[in-house]
Structure 1
Amino acid sequence: MKLATTLSLLLTLFLGNSALTTPIAATPQQQLAQTNDDLDWERRHELRWQGLEQLSDGDYAGAIATYEQVWRSAAAAEDYFDYTNALLGLAKATLAIKDYDRAIPMWEVLATRFLTKYEHKTALSFANLGLALYHTQDYEKAEWALQEAIANWEIVRADRDDLEQITLFEQQSYTYRLLQKVLVAQGKTEEALVVAEFSRGQALVEQLVQQYDPNDVVPDLTLEEIRQTAREQDTTIVLYGLVGEEVRVVGTEANLPNELFIWVVQPDGRIGFRNVDLAAANITSLRHFVHRTRNEAVRRHSEGPEVNATLPGDTFSEQMYQLLIEPIADLLPSAPQAQVTFIPQDALFLVPFAALKDANGTYLIEKHTLASAPSVQVMRLAEDDANNNTATNGSHAPLIVGNPNMPTIPEQDRPLIPLPAAEAEAKVIAKLLGTEPLLREAASETQILKTISEAPIIHFATHGLLDLDSQLNIYGDSVVDDLPTARDLGVFITPGGTTVSDRTTIDGLPAAPFLSREKVFVVELAGALALTPTARADGFLTSQEIAQLELAADLVVLSACDTGQGRVTDDGVVGLARSFMAAGADTVVVSLWAIPDAPTAKLMVSFYQKLAEHGDKAQALREAMLATKETYPHPMNWAAFTLMGSPL
């Protein structure tokens, strides 16, 4: 079919019985632009850039007028490239003004006819088609469109390295969340659970699968396999999903969550679902709410926007309990020894679940044995690996590291401060485990790498460093609110299939802050552990180096500051814990903040004592927290540690 014929059909669908600009107040400049279809290529090129700028500035009426002119001219000239790009701009602007009935046929044509050679553009078109269909309540067709979008996104991410996959998923994850909304709107909450599980931790899952067979394909979990995981690990799985408007038309929309989906999978196979309206609770920013809760736990003053949630409770920990736990309290086990595994999302990875307090003043750790994981699939893989490691690593000694001769951070002129309490901690734990610790000069990277691969237990008592880009926060957003965007500077990137390296600059400056809204800047693998420097090693065991190891460890404990933090992405937290899991560790115990020396030592010694008694890692951590709480009651002293991976 010729472009002119296609144009005629689309005009009929798009215009109906009225002129294009009838519902739009066109400016004289726009009216003038609409009078001439006889444009040369250079003029069409100029107008396409003008349309991009109008879209970015929110001048959707102007963009429609501009793109319509290019569209008509390109059709007359049989210019496929300009025609398709003008149609894409028209479809975006029409969807942005929420004219769904007119947007749908354009996105259908783009998805099924014009952009089929480019997976990322096809996926984008199907995703926007799904958005328009969702808002017209055509949920069944929206479900189909979003499944098609996801299938194309999977092709885009295939064969990319780990960090590129995470970066691409940051750009694509809105499609998975929108599909969850479509399924929930149809009452298909269990199908939505499968999508929610599939949409997290995928890059890590692929790394874990390829440890066993580099040619293996990552399988998608079925609903029955999710049930099976809860049953075989005898745990109640709580999976949180955060969804917002999920608009990604221009590519820079914020999409703050306004709903919280919670699925509870019980060991007997029953699945419960709860939906919490964040707006009704006056939670405009869940990240700020989590930030306030954490600062309350560590007795730190909070800066930034106020949080005035209309939830019961006098403290943030009480209100966070009401948000995350109270809606599902009736679905959780009553026995304190029964395990609950949380699978958070986004800022919820930073929540100190153990310190959340109910209306009676009871902490969550007093009611349940807690663990966490990036996804159900990671739980399954960690458990399978744990069974293998238990059978093969019994003849090797644990690796216990404490208080190295501290290295110097490059930006500073003095070494990190020594940690004598960490040395004492390492000595006691090594004695409990029947081994000798590596301390001070012996705690070098060279020495550690000699035994780390075979060690069944690895314990680091040292400094943990979170070396994120200083221009970005932990979510990858610019720390400067009024910083110009890349589009303000004339750089237009459509997210979905693009990654930008750390060597890229805009106007001579690093590009990352300017491109933070597009989420195209390659995610960094943040974090490092301080070790003794040598002539051949700088004294920092980085997350990148850890991820390249092949570990047989059943347990890794990072008794250091902020080792549970990192870059928070839609694929999970990218940092030290993830690197150890990617390297093969079955269980990783990390901290969400820095805690004082004395309670850390007490908690860690108690943890290993309890672990020796019954072998249940999650239960041992709970008992250690409660024992430490008796002596040091404030949550900052005992609630920082969290267990990820296999709990047994």
Structure 2
Amino acid sequence: MRKLLTLLLVFHTFLSLSGQTKERDSILQIAEKYRSVSGAKELNNIVTKAQKGLIVKNTKDSLYAANLFLLEAESLFYSWDIPVLREKFNSAINMSPSTDEGQILKVETIISSTYMEVPIGFEMSAYTKTKEALSILENLKSEPPTDLLLSIYESLMILNSTFGDTKKQKEYRDKANKLFEKNNFDSSRMVAFYTANIMSLYETDTNESTILYYINKIRKFPNKIELPNFKYVDISASNRLTKYYYNTYKRGDKTALKKGYDIIAQTLQKYSKDKSMSYHIKEAMHLKCEFLIAENKFEDAFKINSKLISISKKNDRRFHFNLAQRMIILLGLDKVADAKELVFDTLDEFHTGQDELKNDYSNFSTRNIVDYTSLFLDISDAFNKHKKNDADVKKLVNTWNNISLNQFQKSIDNKLTTKKTKALFKRVISNLLTAHANEDDQQFYVSQLLETIENIENTIEWQEFLQQRNYSKLNVVNDFKFEEYAITNALIEARIKEEDSTISTLELQLEQLKTNFKSKNPNIIKYSFSDFKTSDFKQSLLNDEVTLRYETIKDSLYTFVISKNNIELKNLGSSKAILDLTKSYLNDIKNRIDATLKAKELYALLIPNQVEKFKHLNILPDDYLYKLPFETLINSNNNYLIENKTVLYAPYLALLKYSIKNDSLVTENNTKLMIFTPAYETAADETTDVVVRGNSYRLDGAEKESKLISELFPNTSFSDYSATKENFRRYAPDGQLLHLSMHASLNSTTPQLSHLIFTEGNTDNKLYLEELYGMNLKADMAVLSACNTGVGEFELDKGIVSLHRAFTQAGVPTTVSSLWSAPDNATQKIMVAFYKELKLGKTKAEALQLAKLNYLKTTDNPMLKTSFYWAGFVINGDNKAIMLPNSEINYWLWIALGIAAALVIILLYFRKK
């Protein structure tokens, strides 16, 4: 797959150049002849001579220099010297002039630079660069070259298909088809287009007629004589059609079985005697075995697999897959002993590490291909059926599960995160959980499992975060990753050659590279590198503090119950049943319907008994539970959860205890509280009690709230026409506390268009998520006193595109945000009480708890006591108290501490006397 993708990426990238002098044209034409592996040395010599004495004075010089840098990069490509290659590619990109011709060359260079990324697993970088190249082409003054534009569309649709993003895959496929229909292309280009469509479709759940359309286009192509590689294209397309039928069969379409067998039969009959097609013939035979295994026809599968192995050599690219398939077949035939004997040979074939594979497989290493994870899990599942009375088989199940886990961890770095990736991760965790269900040392195992989930999900979310940002500093991460890759490879070579001095130098370079990157990019490090340790987290908890981390695994909802001295894993029951009940409960809350019975039922389902003895509760939801305010759940004594416990939320455990601190950035001269209360022209039609902060009308409660809060702390207040987006961007980075009383809008179709609504001035008044992601805020806490800032209707897991997450990514460790449209008047009362408690030195969660309880106590109207009015705001992140030097509590606290210290000194003095 990856090789074919790379070939398509390079297809029609380089165009003939114009605008050079005859001498320069001649040099470039000669260089063109050496654009191959065999001509690399000659190409480098030509470019090196051409670069001597070149002085860039004008646009033509710049274009010529950019061409030379690109040619130089190509001449060095197969040296695989990553830092040098990146330097040359970047030089070509930077030297490309702003003319259309220069921008086209820039696009060619960007695409060329992705060739070194796809083969080594940096698909996310390749994808981002390809989108950048597309953006450049689409913004040219003149029409972009159709060949180049088409190849970019093809690359994007194939990449998105690989990532499992069918929506984007279809978007780019439609664009490619539209462009193809409008233009005339030569025979080779037409077949490349049909092939690209097949490659983007065969793994997806698409209409059979669509993929058959492109297959038939190739098979009935009129000018086959013009295509020397037509047989290769034809048999490749046939095998992909077979894979399509296999995937369709696995999804439940039984009619796909016969169709798959028919295609395989046609392929073998047509090409079995053609030695040049032997690789693809073996692939077709392998696919036939897969069909037979799926039907439990293991005897027939064994015969074909035996023949396949007998005609294959150990260095064949698919030999390791044949051995893995043999193992699964043997287990299907109950030949467990034979399967066990094959384990080492199979793993040895997959092993790509420099050292020989150890007998305990502890040094096993293979390519960073995420699909290998599925294969290893299939083998684990096959062994698992035979583990009942065989200790060795039990051990092998664990081995394959751990290998699957390690493979997944290695493979997700720099990959686009999709539903396919997440589903695969859930399968890994499910296998680990099932295999260890009856382990003796459950405490240790659960700790390890939690650590694994935390670190991997953190990595996955980091990838999602990068995907959401149109202007992300992705190159910062990739520059580091590429340099790390280059040094690591050099280290391997040095160790093979036993060059001790070189090893020491490279190890120092690698350590320095990591240190420099971490110091320059603390926020990036927080999200891109996962080093969470369960033992450290447990020790950081208070004695009266407990954490519930929910996780949906297969059809069940689990929760990790973590306290200072203990950790347990509880199966709470059917995830679907809990999800349905939660949805119904939230619907009742938002419609002000009595939901007491559902609140009690959810309490019984979601809150384990051992939680009762703790005072402080941390909650890490999963899936739809992100929308649920746990404070509203009712126990058997008819008390709300909030009446007995403080409640704090977080998407990850690391964000509870290891939040990024900005203490050194907050000085005495910084504004302590910064308030933004925009003006809205339209008056609300509703009465004060039912006005919500989600539409562009005036918020009387928000204005009163801001005024009362401003009386509690030293502040800078931006209200009415000074509460502009421009002022927020300019001054917010200096605030220690940020309070935003305003409207917010979430866009369910395009999450990046969700925004906070400031006063409309001369400039745009909408602050979008994308802009928040790019800010560098120093605040300890941001209070988003607006609607729906805590969760989006469009994203249920981890709230990655919600406004509160955007503040977290900008560097703010704690956010207070809303789960639904905030009622204006009730919000004002709760917020003012919240700040009063903060001023008294309460922790953030305790301050909000007391504010909500105060609202319930002081509100007389029973209708206004329903959960809708008081439970919408929740705290995410770090829970430490806000320490403002000018607050009353701090002033008297320091005096008290001073007096206490003096008394201790006096007492000690007289004791000595």
TM-score, normalised via structure 1 length: 0.68
1:197 to 431, 454, 464: 454
1:594 to 821, 836, 841: 821
Q: What SS is found at the alignment partner of 1:297?
A: helix
1:40 to 271, 277, 289: 271
- Residues 182, 572 of structure 1: CA spacing in aligned structure 2 closer, same or farther, 3 A cutoff? farther
Equivalent residues of 2:286, 2:308 under 8 A apart? no
Residues 559-588 of structure 1, C-alpha deviation per residue, up to 9 Å, x if partnerless?
111111035466564421111111111210
Equivalent residues of 2:733, 2:778 under 8 A apart? yes
- Residues 597, 69 of structure 1: CA spacing in aligned structure 2 closer, same or farther, 3 A cutoff? farther
Q: Does 1:173 align with 2:425?
A: yes
Query: Which whole-Å CA distance do the structure 1 matches of 2:799 and 2:346 have between them?
Result: 32
Answer with 1 or 2: which has the greater Rg: 2
The answer for the alignment partner of 1:642 in structure 2 is 874
The answer for the alignment partner of 1:157 in structure 2 is 412
One-letter amino acid matched to 1:195: T
The answer for the alignment partner of 2:597 in structure 1 is 315
Query: Which whole-Å CA distance do the structure 2 matches of 1:109 and 1:170 have between them?
Result: 30
The answer for the alignment partner of 2:670 in structure 1 is 395
Q: Does 1:129 align with 2:376?
A: no
One-letter amino acid matched to 2:869: N
The answer for the alignment partner of 2:832 in structure 1 is 605
Residues 516-563 of structure 1, C-alpha deviation per residue, up to 9 Å, x if partnerless?
xxxxxxxx65732112345543x2212221111111111111111111
Residues 264-306 of structure 1, C-alpha deviation per residue, up to 9 Å, x if partnerless?
21xxx21142523514xxx64433222112122222689xxxx
1:61 to 284, 295, 306: 295
One-letter amino acid matched to 1:179: L
- Residues 540, 173 of structure 1: CA spacing in aligned structure 2 closer, same or farther, 3 A cutoff? farther
Query: Which whole-Å CA distance do the structure 2 matches of 1:406 and 1:131 have between them?
Result: 63
- Residues 320, 27 of structure 1: CA spacing in aligned structure 2 closer, same or farther, 3 A cutoff? closer
Equivalent residues of 2:289, 2:305 under 8 A apart? no
Equivalent residues of 1:406, 1:533 under 8 A apart? no
- Residues 301, 354 of structure 1: CA spacing in aligned structure 2 closer, same or farther, 3 A cutoff? closer
1:618 to 845, 864, 868: 845
More helix by percentage:
2
Equivalent residues of 1:405, 1:441 under 8 A apart? no
The answer for the alignment partner of 2:6 in structure 1 is none
2:744 to 464, 468, 471: 464
Equivalent residues of 1:403, 1:439 under 8 A apart? yes
- Residues 633, 541 of structure 1: CA spacing in aligned structure 2 closer, same or farther, 3 A cutoff? same
Q: How does 1:362-401 map to 2 (within 5 A)?
A: 362-382=639-659, 385=661, 392=667, 395-401=670-676
Shift of 1:623: 0.6
The answer for the alignment partner of 2:118 in structure 1 is none
Shift of 1:467: 1.5
Q: Does 1:262 align with 2:593?
A: no
Q: What SS is found at the alignment partner of 1:564?
A: coil
TM-score, normalised via structure 2 length: 0.50
- Residues 133, 588 of structure 1: CA spacing in aligned structure 2 closer, same or farther, 3 A cutoff? farther
Q: Does 1:113 align with 2:389?
A: no
One-letter amino acid matched to 1:227: K
One-letter amino acid matched to 1:350: K
1:560 to 771, 777, 786: 786
Q: How does 1:149-298 map to 2 (within 5 A)?
A: 149-159=404-414, 164=416, 170-174=422-426, 175-186=428-439, 187=442, 188-202=445-459, 211-212=521-522, 218-231=529-542, 235-244=545-554, 257-265=555-563, 269-279=564-574, 284-298=576-590
Equivalent residues of 2:560, 2:568 under 8 A apart? yes
Counting aligned pairs with the same residue, the percent is 19
One-letter amino acid matched to 1:396: T
Equivalent residues of 1:204, 1:582 under 8 A apart? no
Shift of 1:83: 6.5
Q: Does 1:360 align with 2:652?
A: no
The answer for the alignment partner of 1:503 in structure 2 is none
Equivalent residues of 2:745, 2:756 under 8 A apart? yes
One-letter amino acid matched to 2:635: D
Query: Which whole-Å CA distance do the structure 1 matches of 2:803 and 2:605 have between them?
Result: 28
Q: Does 1:345 align with 2:619?
A: no
One-letter amino acid matched to 1:238: L
Equivalent residues of 1:61, 1:93 under 8 A apart? no
Shift of 1:362: 0.5
Equivalent residues of 2:451, 2:534 under 8 A apart? yes
- Residues 93, 364 of structure 1: CA spacing in aligned structure 2 closer, same or farther, 3 A cutoff? farther
Query: Which whole-Å CA distance do the structure 2 matches of 1:63 and 1:565 have between them?
Result: 49
Query: Which whole-Å CA distance do the structure 1 matches of 2:780 and 2:667 have between them?
Result: 10
Query: Which whole-Å CA distance do the structure 2 matches of 1:574 and 1:66 have between them?
Result: 51
Shift of 1:143: 3.4
Query: Which whole-Å CA distance do the structure 1 matches of 2:536 and 2:752 have between them?
Result: 30
Length, aligned pairs only: 524
Runs of 5+ in structure 2 lacking a partner?
1-253, 352-365, 388-392, 466-516, 683-693, 881-913
- Residues 235, 275 of structure 1: CA spacing in aligned structure 2 closer, same or farther, 3 A cutoff? closer
Equivalent residues of 2:778, 2:812 under 8 A apart? yes
Q: Does 1:578 align with 2:799?
A: no
Q: What SS is found at the alignment partner of 1:588?
A: strand
Shift of 1:62: 9.4
The answer for the alignment partner of 1:473 in structure 2 is none
Q: What SS is found at the alignment partner of 2:865?
A: coil
Shift of 1:347: 2.1
Equivalent residues of 1:453, 1:551 under 8 A apart? yes
Of residues 431-440 and 558-567 in structure 1, the stretch that sits farther from structure 2 once superposed is 431-440
Query: Which whole-Å CA distance do the structure 2 matches of 1:39 and 1:447 have between them?
Result: 71
- Residues 128, 100 of structure 1: CA spacing in aligned structure 2 closer, same or farther, 3 A cutoff? farther
Residues 369-416 of structure 1, C-alpha deviation per residue, up to 9 Å, x if partnerless?
11011222122222x516556x64663242211234489xxxxxx983
Equivalent residues of 1:201, 1:374 under 8 A apart? no
- Residues 103, 606 of structure 1: CA spacing in aligned structure 2 closer, same or farther, 3 A cutoff? farther
Q: What SS is found at the alignment partner of 1:417?
A: coil
Of residues 286-295 and 195-204 in structure 1, the stretch that sits farther from structure 2 once superposed is 195-204
Equivalent residues of 1:559, 1:590 under 8 A apart? yes
- Residues 146, 527 of structure 1: CA spacing in aligned structure 2 closer, same or farther, 3 A cutoff? farther
Query: Which whole-Å CA distance do the structure 1 matches of 2:796 and 2:378 have between them?
Result: 22
Equivalent residues of 2:737, 2:780 under 8 A apart? yes
